[in-house]
A and B are shown apart, each in its own frame.
Chain A
């Protein structure tokens, strides 16, 4: 459900950037969504098809790049990537320390847009 709010913000950001650049049509919106976020890209696509249709982004393709959840161990400096189908375990698989920090996976970005005049 919260993806509706997320999608509204994606549209706002994309349209404001397009207008600032004097563009009239947005043809593509490139998103970066981390694996450790509560945002489902399929759900965003669905809402986009509903709320984007009366805007300059009506024909825009949503391109979603996913960033995996990556952790770094503060104890041994080891890095590990958690496959998306796995349960996230916040411990170092090499040394067992729980002093791990999130390197990536929390991103929610509009990276770029493609526009036409």
Chain B
């Protein structure tokens, strides 16, 4: 006997993501799912962003890593609440992990929540967390082909950050080819080229975040 089913394989995660999203809406929190390969500079970007936006914006961070609390400690040094999720062998965060982490974060009065996903451009693509925006971080030493190699991730990005532009004089990186590759996958995605080390290019990213926060408040 054949039974028609037509159920989304990821329905359980999507339901939990929806519950998270409802919670963020209730408290008018802008939530960003930050994704990148390992070593692109996700935590560095968050540290820089926190420095620039404190104290006018109240922020919190959820850190996803296979192991260690190193990133949580880095963020806490900046005076921002941070909760570490260790996924063990899990290569991506799931919505239920985020909802559990949310129990440790006071949401009232919070303006922005950053969720730093596990460093990986493949697995997190299919797992919504309830975020408002998905930001993909690429970096100059990774080369210009990342958008072509991970098209699903880049296609669904709400913004792309290109980090480590201070290394442009020292490593082979064809900026035109990167733009061409990126825009062939995501023609309209906002791109912020910056260096977390020197601070070059950061103001545009910060202004964009403030604008997005404003849009959430109005909604």
Enumerate chain A interface residues (CB-CB to B < 8 A). Answer: 1-2, 5-6, 9-10, 12-14, 17-18, 21, 23, 31, 36-39, 87-91, 98, 102, 108-116
Contact = CB atoms under 8 A, between A and B. Distances in A.
Contacts, number: 102
B10 interface: yes
Give the secondary structure class of A's interface: mixed
Nearest to A3: B123
B70 interface: no
Contacts of B10: 6, 9, 108
Contacts of B151: 36, 87-88
B132 to A, nearest CB: 20
A21 B7 CA distance: 15
B9 A112 contact: no
Contacts of A23: 1, 3
B2 A98 contact: no
Contacts of A38: 122-123, 125-126, 152-153
Given A5-B127, A6-B10, A115-B3, 5 more contacts: A1-B91, A5-B90, A39-B126, A108-B126, A109-B8
A1 B123 contact: yes
Give the secondary structure class of B's interface: mixed
A21 B5 CA distance: 11
A112 B5 contact: yes
Interface of B: 1-13, 89-92, 94, 122-127, 148, 151-153, 155, 183-188
Given A1-B91, A2-B126, A98-B183, A17 B9 contact: no
A91 B127 CA distance: 26
Q: Nearest 3 pairs between A and B by C-beta?
A: A98-B187, A2-B123, A1-B91
Contact of A2 (B2, B127, B155): B127
A95 to B, nearest CB: 14
A39 B10 CA distance: 12
Contact of B152 (A17, A37, A98, A112): A37
A68 B88 CA distance: 34
B46 to A, nearest CB: 23
A68 to B, nearest CB: 14
A18 B4 CA distance: 11
B126 A109 contact: no
A108 B8 contact: yes
Contact of A114 (B2, B91, B184): B2
A9 B126 contact: no
A9 B125 CA distance: 16
A79 B124 CA distance: 29
Contact of A90 (B6, B90, B185): B185
Nearest to B5: A110
